[in-house]
Amino acid sequence: MIKHTDIVILLPYILIAGTSVVTMLAIAFYRHHGLTVLITLMGLSGALVLTCIIFSIPILHRQITSLIIIDGYALFFTGLILAASIVVTLLSYDYLEIHDGHHEEFYLLLLFATLGTAVLVASGHFVSLFLGIEILSVSLYALAAYLRHSDRSIEAGVKYLILAAVSSAFILFGMALVYAETGSMEFSQIALRAAASGVHGLPYTAGLGLLVIGLGFKLGVVPFHMWTPDVYEGAPAPVTAFIATVSKGAVFALVLRYFSRVDLHAHRSLFVILTITAIASMFAGNLLALLQRNVKRILAYSSISHVGYLLVTLLASGPLAVSAAAFYLAAYFVTTLGAFGVVTVLSDRDRDADSMDDYAGLAWRRPWLAGVFTAMLLSLAGIPLTAGFVGKFYVVAAGMGSALWLLVIVLVINSAIGLFYYLRIIVALYAHPEEETAPRPALSLSGKAALAGLTLSLVWLGVYPGPVIEIIKKTLQSLI
Amino acid sequence: MILAWLIIIPLAGGLAAWPLGRKNAALTRWISLAALVLDGVLLISFWSDPSSQAALGRGTWLIELNRPWIPQLGISIHLAMDGLSLVLVALTLFLGIISVACSWTEIREKTGFFHLNLMAILAGILGVFLSLDLFLFYFFWELMLVPMYFLISIWGHENRIYASLKFFLFTQAGGLLMLLSILGLYFMHGRSTGVYTFDYSLLLGTSLTPQAAFWLMLGFFISFTVKLPMVPFHPWLPDAHTEAPTAGSVILAGLLLKTGAYGLLRFVLPLFPDAAMTIAPTVMIIAAIGIGYGAVLAFAQTDLKRLVAYTSVSHMGFVLLGIFAWNMTAMQGAIMQMLAHGVSTGALFIIAGMVQERIHTRDMDRMGGFWSTIPRLSGMALVFALASLGLPGFGNFVAEFMVLLGAYRVNVLVTAFAAGGLVFAAIYSLWIIQRAFHGEPREVWKIPDLSRLETGIMAALIIAIFWLGLYPRPVLNTTGPALNMQQRSMPVESHSNAGTMANISKREIIR
């Protein structure tokens, strides 16, 4: 039964859903880009504030029905997701202004997708898991193909549609098998029953395997990564930013929660498979990125390797690993949003700024923008003073803490390989300009605010991460 | 707080210089210079303080700063200075001022950003010399790389992109190995004592199995010897030194290489004395090979800067030899070599830069006969070529002599081989003079001699190198007690060989 207080705790989620309804009505009565953005921003910020308030009152944290678990963990990631969505909204405004067509429905889809991810990170049950994933995926199909006049955008949307639908089928089948073996769809119950009855039969393992495959698709780990570069390249830049951060982050948070209940080490074969996946993702992501000339594709392959790094924390398991994952995700959100943010603001009407040539000599044309991009790339590479440095350090520490030597060494080797292509972009940024280029369009206020906020957070997390780590540590006490 | 200020002032100076660069290039240079001079004044006033002098005599920390930074992970901002750090900080500020001065006319593009990078490197190097928390150390270690990378890749010469990438990848790969070792030590210390910390003073006595100690030591060792560089980890060095702008070469050769040597002295030996002892004989052999190899390759170069770069490989071999000979004389010699090499090689790079600024080539085949056209510059070149070959009276002589003296007691054969490197040093040094400055001019150059600023720079360097050569006692008195203290804090007494060595060395501190 849902009590009154439960409604209060669910307010952030209700507010997001409510905002999407309001947006829909607003579009029906008065179609206006600025107004829609304003409503969206107000809704998301309101939800963020509510999340923070509930987050700071631990007695409110509880499970609501068997579907939703509102604990510190869920609220932390919900906050992260909402903040990221606000940034994406700010970036989208300019981006859509210069493109033709209706802009308003974009925000509606964005709100739905955000709601889906927020449900995902709070789900403790297969039903809510599936609901969250479907709400997210269906919105993303449309978002990826939002620029209807662009072939590549349509291609990205269709590709994402087909693969996401297939992976959903895998997830469904996996859930069915696990349910058939354990008789429950609740994570905690599944873990208990599997441990008690010693269910290690083929159907159960196969079910877990299918789940891993389905979720692996969403995360874009090797060998399920093929869609990532194409979708990243084809989708509008703000949508790419959303897929790279919010969508992947939420799925990872869910996987992390699931495997904090279901002991990964008890399933030796699964552990080995995930280890291989992690290693393959790191290597494939970094090595293939070396071959790319397209900045969006480079970032796509880099994201594959970053998910590989994150898998190390999943395999390490334990409090240190979970806090490392949470911190890494926070750092990764900031960094990736920043990187795609720069791509977004540089894009023009005809195409996204994804060619290396768009960035040649940027430092002398638009020094601030180049500075932001440099900071983001250095953070992806894990260089000090940036969030990525502390994140990488934390992940390596987590791996070492669980004595995963192989994974840690692979991670370290890959960080060195990764540097190579990040540096290549940076070299281009600071190349001497050949000729004076056309006068530059000024950044709008929303783009400036988003990028400035991201850069400040990046440096803050890199220089003074203590408070954030403290919050994460507190949060994790509520998990398990 | 004085230690934090030492790092903050250059950084702030750089940040202030950056936005001004677009409007007024001269102001940028003055601000950078002022920040470094202020730092220098701070250091000297602190150095001459009676209480600091007393601490120097005892060999203890002169001053410490310890504030929590990320307490959840046992990370603190722990800075401290002893005699060893003190002389290296002094060298950093001295060469920092020199490099600002020698970029005065060379750097005309993007002056603001150049000085930001320059000051950030110096701040990073100062941080490395002062950090006593391993996380903080790693932080600064990595921090100095990025601006150095920019310095080479933006203001460097023809092949700068390749050189800067190579530099970055080599040192970064080394740094990541060190990260693994740092974390390994962190967890092993945490497991055995329950205290998870990155603090150097707490980690000092960690009990490790010999095998674990060996692997952890190796991570640090490789990272530091890539920077040093030790043959075969040196391929980045000739490219980076050659392609960097003059100030970059000076900082690379004068300071960045020293961070590797400092790391060996401060971290590898004290943290893993037994493991380091086991590899010491091998390292000495490699060091001797490096001395000869660097010298032979230097001789084969026609690019003036490249030649000087290879002499660095040879000279840093002496540093490595001295450190791993592991007695007081040799270690003191290694420190002297760090200082003398910093000054003399820095000077040679500046001379190469001045020549290039005038004739726009570094190819020695096109030089020759400069003595008659630019006598003052040629004279300076002769002075530093002689310093580089280790002529008595120069700092390099004192340093190499002490290293060989100390190493002789440990391994006669290796020492004899290393001493052979001095012969090659004489050949390549005189070769520079012969090819570039003496003889008939191969092409007719109409070029100006040293300007007043350039004369001033060279004068400062000459004073420094002669001071090190003729009156090295202040330096030895500053570093001796600190080294001694560090040796005593190591549990090497269990090791019979090392015990006697430490006893011998105590007697022979040069007074």
**A206-223 per-position pLDDT tens digit:** 898 899 999 999 999 989
Tokens linked to B329: 């004389």
User: Between the CA atoms of A386, A390, A391 and A392, what dihedral angle is there, to the nearest 10 degrees?
Assistant: 100
Residues in chain A: 480
Residue position matching structure tokens 């540093």: B319
Query: How far apart are alpha carbons A41 and A44 in whole angstroms?
Result: 5
Give the C-alpha separation, A138 to A146, whole Å: 13
Q: Is pLDDT above 50 for B495?
A: no
Beta partners for residue A186, in sequence order: A125
Q: What is the pTM assigned to this prediction?
A: 0.91
Give Cα A219 to chain centroid, integer Å: 9
- Nearest CA to B36 among B12, B20, B52? B12
Kindly report, residue by residue over B160-173, the tens digit of the pLDDT: 889 998 998 898 88
Q: Is A470 on the interface with B (CB under 8 A)?
A: yes
Quick one: average pLDDT of A316-345?
93
Would the CA dihedral through B235, B239, B242, B245 be positive or negative?
negative
Q: Please, what is the Cα angle at B13 between B9 and B15, to 5 degrees?
A: 120
Higher pLDDT, A385 or A112: A112
Residue B50: how many CB atoms within 10 A of its CB?
7
Smallest CA–CA distance, residue A305 to chain B, in Å, is 17
Q: Which two tokens stand for residue B432?
A: 């520079």
Beta bridge partners, B75, equal B70
Q: Are B431 and B321 in contact (CB under 8 A)?
A: no
Give me the pLDDT at residue A480, please.
Answer: 46
Q: What percent of chain A has pLDDT above 70?
A: 96
Sign of the C-alpha dihedral computed for residues B107, B163, A389 and B67 taken in this order = negative
Whether A265 shows a pLDDT value over 80: the answer reads no
Q: Of the segments A41-50, A345-354, B477-486, which one has the largest average pLDDT value? A: A41-50
Contacts A–B by Cβ distance under 8 A: 70
Amino acid letter at B226?
V
Would you say residue B454 has pLDDT above 50? yes
Size of chain B in residues: 511
Render pLDDT for B300-309 as a digit per residue (tens, 0 to 9).
898 999 999 9
Q: What is the pLDDT at residue B347?
A: 95
- A442-451, B165-174, B189-198 — which is least confidently predicted? A442-451
DSSP string for residues in B374-425: SHHHHHHHHHHHHHHHT-TTSHHHHHHHHHHHHHHHH-HHHHHHHHHHHHHH
Cis peptide preceding A223, ω within 30 of 0: yes
Verify whether the Cβ–Cβ distance B187 to A400 is below 8 Å. yes
| Percent of chain A surpassing pLDDT 90 | 63
pLDDT band for B497, please (50, 70, 90 cuts): very low
Angle at B341 between CA B17 and CA B167, to 5 degrees: 60
Average pLDDT over residues B319-340: 94
Return d(Cα A10, Cα A8) in angstroms, integer.
5
Distance CA(A114)–CA(A331), nearest Å, equals 19
Higher pLDDT, B2 or A332: A332
Chain B residue numbers touching A465 (CB-CB < 8 A):
70
Contact B56, B481 (CB under 8 A): yes
Q: Do B142 and A384 touch (CB under 8 A)?
A: yes
B424 touches chain A (CB under 8 A): no
Does pLDDT of A2 surpass 80? Answer: no
Query: pLDDT at position B498, please?
Result: 42
Q: Residues of A with CB below 8 A from B110's CB?
A: 364
Question: Using the beta-carbon criterion (under 8 Å), do A385 and B150 form an inter-chain contact?
Answer: no
Whether chain B has a CB inside 8 Å of the CB on A38: the answer is no
pLDDT band at B275 (very low <50, low <70, confident <90, very high): very high
Domain range annotation of chain B = 2-507
What pLDDT sits at residue B11?
Answer: 93
- Secondary structure letter of residue B157 according to DSSP: -
Residues of B in contact with A423 (CB under 8 A): 149, 165, 168
Measured over the CA atoms of residue B464, residue B466, residue B469 and residue B472, the dihedral's sign is negative
Whether the CB-CB separation of A249 and A333 falls below 8 Å is answered with yes
Separation between Cα atoms, residue B260 and residue A245, nearest integer Å: 39
Long-range contacts of B297-302, Cβ-Cβ distance < 8 Å, separation of 24 or more: B298/B424, B298/B428, B299/B424, B299/B427, B299/B428, B299/B431, B301/B364, B302/B363, B302/B364, B302/B365
Q: Give pairs for B37-41: CB < 8 Å, separation 24+.
A: B37/B97, B38/B9, B39/B6, B39/B9, B39/B10, B39/B93, B40/B93, B40/B94, B40/B97
Question: Which of A416, A430, A470 lies at the smallest CB-CB distance from B72?
Answer: A470
Q: What is the per-residue pLDDT across B222-251, written as a single tens digit (0 to 9) for each?
A: 999 999 999 899 999 999 999 999 999 999
Terminal Cα distance for chain A, rounded: 23
Taking 90 as the threshold, does the pLDDT of residue A192 lie above it? no
- The dihedral through the CA atoms of A401, A247, A33, A24 has a sign that is negative
For A183: left if phi > 0, alpha if psi spans -120 to 50, otherwise beta; the answer is left
Distance, in Å, from the CA atom of A11 to the CA atom of A5, rounded to the nearest integer, reads: 10
Position B4 confidence tier, pLDDT thresholds 50, 70, 90: very high
**For residue B232, what are its two tokens?**
């075969």
| Residue A389 to residue B179: CA distance in whole angstroms | 11
Beta strands in A210-255 (DSSP E): none
Instruction: Please check whether residue B212 touches A, CB under 8 A.
Output: no
Given a cut of 90, whether residue A372 has pLDDT beyond it is yes
Closest alpha carbon within chain B to A361: B154
Question: A461 or B57: whose pLDDT is higher?
Answer: A461
Q: Is A469 on the interface with B (CB under 8 A)?
A: yes
Cα dist from B270 to A479, B170, B190, B205, B491, whole Å: 42, 25, 19, 9, 9
pLDDT band at B106 (very low <50, low <70, confident <90, very high): confident
Contact B154 A430 (CB under 8 A): yes
Rounded mean pLDDT, A368-389? 92
Residue B169 with chain A: CB contacts under 8 Å: 416, 419-420
Q: Could you state, in order of their start, the residue ranges of all structural domains in chain A? A: 4-478
Q: Is A389 within 8 Å of B139 when comparing Cβ atoms?
A: yes
Grade residue B394 by pLDDT with cuts at 50, 70 and 90: very high
Average pLDDT of chain B is 89
With contacts defined as CB-CB under 8 Å, which chain B residues touch A401?
187
* Structure confidence at residue B112 (pLDDT): 87
A361: left (phi over 0), alpha (psi -120 to 50) or beta: left
Are the C-beta atoms of residues B187 and B139 closer than 8 Å to each other?
Answer: no
Q: How far apart are CA A16 and CA A20, in angstroms?
A: 6
Per-residue pLDDT, A162: 93
Please state, in angstroms and rounded to a whole number, the distance separating the CA atoms of residues A155 and A431.
33
- Residue A331 pLDDT greater than 80, yes or no: yes
Nearest-Cα distance to chain A for B394, in Å, is: 39
CB A292, CB A430: distance < 8 Å:
no
* Cα gap A235→A225, rounded to integer Å: 16
- Residue with the larger pLDDT of the pair A446 and A391: A391
Using an 8 Å Cβ cutoff, are A270 and A205 in contact?
yes
Band of the pLDDT at B499, cuts 50, 70, 90? very low
List the one residue out of A72, A27, A93 whose CA is nearest residue A341. Answer: A93
Q: For residues B125 and B134, what is the distance between their CA atoms, to the nearest angstrom?
A: 15
Locate B469 and state its tokens: 């050569």
DSSP SS3 for A366: coil
Q: How far is B94 from chain A (nearest CA, A)?
A: 26
Is the confidence at residue B493, as pLDDT, over 70?
Answer: no
pLDDT at A29 over 50: yes
pLDDT of residue B496: 38
CA distance B262 to B256: 10
DSSP codes of every residue in B331-368: HHHHHHHHHHHHHHHHHHHHHHHHHHHHHS--BGGG--
**What counts of helices (H) and strands (E) characterise chain B?**
24, 2
User: Which residues partner with B80 through β-bridges?
Assistant: B64
Inter-chain touch A420–B139, beta carbons under 8 Å = no
% of chain B residues with pLDDT over 70: 95
- Cα–Cα distance, B148 to B259 (Å, whole number): 14
Residue B11 has, within 13 A of its CA and on its CB side, a CA count of: 13
Instruction: Tell me: cis bond preceding B441? Omega within 30 of 0 counts.
Output: no
Q: How far is CA A478 from CA A72, A329, B387, in A?
A: 6, 18, 67
Rounded Cα gap, residues A252 and A300, in angstroms: 17
Q: What are phi and psi of B221, to 5 degrees?
A: -60, -45
- What is the ipTM for the molecules in this complex? 0.87
